[in-house]
Structure 1
Amino acid sequence: MDRPTAMPHQAPPPAPQPGLCPICGQPNACAMEAERVTGVKQPPCWCTTASFSPSLLDRIPAAARHTACVCAACVAANPA
């Protein structure tokens, strides 16, 4: 009797990093994250006045939603 072949173990996707854009992986320059990490009060983040297109928001992996900010370059490349 043949034994079933074991499925290769797949590692879970890496946890989102709040300081990196979940789309391109580059630093997102999030002032809110900088304040959280350093404890130093920051001016309002650039993203508070930015417009995010629905298609851009749809590209954020589910695990990174409400966890990591999209960077300004990705926002600029996908105008609302």
Structure 2
Amino acid sequence: MLVPEDMSVGWFSKALESVDEVRIITDGRINFIEPSTGLEKKGNSKGSMLLIWRPFISPRRMFTIVSKAALMAIGQGVRRAT
């Protein structure tokens, strides 16, 4: 789940109760999509992170990092494959 990188909010502590991995995105921000228009929403004031749940395991609450460029490269590979 892509969320704003803000560990000071109450929902983050709640997520840590069950999340397996928190993956912090470095070297740029991911723009969110406005649901009503389908367009990117510019002006993100915070970075981004992914909250990853994996079923059937005990949550490890790992913190990892990934660069925006690496995520974009993965996305391009997926687009080419479809």
Which TM-score tier does this pair reach, normalised by the shorter chain? Answer: under 0.3
* TM-score normalised to structure 2 length: 0.22
Q: Which has the higher helix share?
A: 1
* TM-score normalised to structure 1 length: 0.23
Q: Which has the higher strand share?
A: 2
